[in-house]
């Protein structure tokens, strides 16, 4: 359980990192055409966080 919690915290910290927040904030001031790229980047970040979280949970079996 501790390993799972530690892994979950790591995933959340990486996903909510200042670098990721700055990247999203910087893109929010771009022209409307950049919205599609922002959505793709956000989708990629979410997918990566979920994939890593699943890996952590599998390691707790």
% pLDDT > 70, the chain: 44
Cα angle 11-16-18, degrees, rounded to a multiple of 5: 125
Q: What is the pLDDT of residue 48?
A: 83
The pair of structure tokens assigned to 33 is 């055409």
Q: What is the pLDDT of residue 6?
A: 61
Q: What is the pLDDT of residue 38?
A: 72
The pLDDT of residue 18 is above 80: no
Q: Which domain holds residue 28?
A: 2-58
The pLDDT of residue 27 is above 70: no
| Number of domains the chain is built from | 1
Global pTM? 0.47
């Amino acid at each position: 359980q501790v390993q799972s919690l530690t892994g979950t915290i790591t995933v959340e910290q990486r996903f909510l990192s200042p670098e990721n927040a700055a990247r999203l904030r910087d893109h929010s001031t771009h022209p409307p055409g950049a919205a599609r790229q922002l959505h793709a980047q956000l989708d990629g970040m979410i997918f990566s966080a979920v994939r890593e979280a699943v890996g952590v949970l599998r390691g707790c079996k």
